[in-house]
Chain A
């Protein structure tokens, strides 16, 4: 096997040095009761050539563009990824290094993550950002736990217009310790109805997502004002599509205390849902309650600028059960990809790309509406929006599927009251011809 370098002569020489006759002797301390009976029953090893064929077959059994026209977003987005990022990311020095515990030989990773933290801070409008979380959903769960730690309260309010999967993950993280999640409904315009907050006391945090699950831009200023009406309650703004902040105001400038979400849009392929990267930023005063790794700037013995992992006394390997989180390995390489992507676009490119996304989805929305399709929510949207088809639309959805068109996400599974509602997504990669075809097909 080409990954295993040992020749028989190597093995014999090494065994002699170790003082063993056979490799099995090194395993002698493992009791019989703990051993497996018989060899591993796995498929026979494939050569690289055979593996390529096998994987191509497997990959060929899935629907992707351009053979399929897929208007799905809902937390995972199709954006163009520059070839530079794909190639730079593959550099073994980034790819095959680990967490930069030894800063003298990890300055590449460390400076890159410091730059990532800075870009995330600028993107979200926050003072500090960490080195990443697993994904948008766990980032939100960790943000809620952080607010619970800071305020020492046991209840949080979560908008129902937050991605349903994010809400489920939050429940998973909060349930065993007995923390309570109060759900906020959405109003007629597709934005969170904040009126419920008035009669809900002792909240550690209020969490909304913007753009929310329906693509609607929340009124973040109003949400923060409502949250902060209670003393010390933290405002958490989540997101699954950070590109929106190239056009819309950043949540950090609209009163958020913690901003977190999914960064897959920033140069990371969808890969059936992962790996992505959880972006996590907060106000300076909450820095020491923050979960996750942090890279800080310092100097070496000769006074030269350098970077190290820092404030690790918050972390599990030092503080163990009293740590701010159990997270250890995060999404380093995806954070690097996100940094490369933000740097590729620059501020100028980021604004242009955000606008092109907004206009493309806006075009689809306008055309559908003109063709008589109902748009139930009036709030402004980014990239995604909800449509309502006449009742019994399931058969229409399946007909479109047969024509290799995925008509967005049917929402009934997540919201029983939204039967015949679909969440559609268009980005800069959507071609006008395909958008026009979609309008034609769904309204004919």
Chain B
């Protein structure tokens, strides 16, 4: 068991601290006189607590110690790709010439920044096999929305707006939600007995009113959609487009060519595959890569090269428009750029090791947990709680007990097509020793489930808090102090 107990501090809420008149901020010196203000417009200002700098530092340091994180432990959240976030990336994004740059600088004063965008777009095009890229979407779901806007624009340009979209039952919830924003009705497509799409189920549902299909490949069961090329052909034959959710790109860097696969639009999650930090829930970045044919629809503005000079351009009349006040989460783009420059073609090795790690976990746990699809997986493996249910132990109990062993739980109850799913994505960052400890922990938990199920029902025992009352939180919401 790598987890142990230690001294954890309690810490009040911000407004239970401080005293009026304290400050943790040093105001720049005043060099100007007061400027008259109309008292009819002024207000009392916000009712924030006043803290000193030491109080502030201790407050946030103590709070931080209540989190599990990639820096402290393995964080195998399936489909989230919680890999190591290189420290050097933070240094690069903080360089004054980057962090202090204003987004509306004249082009000639921002050549380094425009070059970064131009080069990162080219590299993502090389990595995905789709030649035209926009880095603007601020997260994966906004990338999906961009993709759906492109679908919409494409069909509208042909004079035949379509109303439906095919979405496999293994998809992330963001897929149908993004499609709905463009007025598309989601048509669910069941995956076949092998956990992947079959040509027939897609062909049966594809018609002249269907804009296309949204596919995650590898899918959320951690399986490669082997029929994707035929599926894409069937969709294209009816005039539809193929959208690929690149959430699971970490499995196939240097292996697949999304263009060859028949994909028209793909989004990437730079905070997954390209090592940018998850930050407790963002910021991320969700670049969109498309075929040449769809390039005119990409969001504006775009960076163009004119000789040795880079420039912003927004004269793309077919563009779906703008998605972000400026150019997306540029600071995140900088980190991904730094990551790609650190690895180069070794990115292919990233995927090989990510897939090896996942298969090693799958092999190590097969004897103790039910594996619905027993075949080599990609970067993640999906088990279920079926065997433990015999002892009235659920995926939730297993996840909570894993905390006591010092690991962040995997994704649970997703994908929805598997009952009691435990979706484990180790990433390439973990050593064999850590994986062995993780496997040993889950095997020990399987023994506990048989012998002492109440231990699991009550877990976690070593975290700062025990299980929280989520029902009351939702029934009587208290969202502000």
Contact = CB atoms under 8 A, between A and B. Distances in A.
A41 B126 contact: yes
Given A136-B325, A176-B182, A272-B110, A97 B69 contact: yes
Interface size on B, as a range, is 35 or more
B376 A93 contact: no
Given A122-B47, A321-B179, A359-B30, A401 B345 contact: no
Contact of B53 (A59, A80, A84, A429): A84
A44 B344 CA distance: 5
A241 B76 CA distance: 39
Contacts of A362: 32, 35-36
Nearest to A267: B25
Contacts of A293: 281
Contacts of A250: 43, 46
B376 A97 contact: no
A39 B351 CA distance: 13
A3 B325 contact: no
Given A29-B376, A105-B463, A135-B325, A62 B112 contact: yes
Interface in B94-114: 94-106, 109-113
B30 A298 contact: no
Given A51-B342, A84-B53, A94-B69, A28 B376 contact: yes
A325 B176 CA distance: 11
A137 B50 CA distance: 31
A271 B363 contact: no
Interface string A299-322: 111101011101111011111111
Contacts of A14: 356-357, 359-360, 432
B431 A10 contact: yes
Nearest to B88: A48
A262 interface: yes
Contacts of B56: 84, 340, 343-344
Given A4-B350, A46-B342, A30 B226 contact: yes
Contacts of A95: 69, 71, 85, 277, 279-280
Q: Which of A134, A287, A401 counts the most chain B CB atoms within 10 A?
A: A134
A333 interface: yes
Interface string B121-148: 0010011010000000011111011001
Interface string A152-168: 00000000000101101
Contact of B177 (A1, A61, A316): A316
Given A30-B256, A312-B474, 12 more contacts: A40-B347, A51-B92, A98-B280, A102-B68, A102-B399, A272-B103, A274-B103, A299-B472, A329-B281, A347-B47, A349-B27, A349-B50
The 5 A-B pairs of least Cβ separation, nearest first, read A273-B326, A362-B35, A59-B97, A92-B71, A273-B103
19 contacts: A15-B356, A29-B375, A30-B252, A40-B345, A62-B98, A63-B101, A102-B399, A104-B400, A104-B468, A105-B460, A115-B481, A270-B99, A273-B328, A274-B332, A310-B474, A333-B281, A345-B24, A346-B25, A359-B33
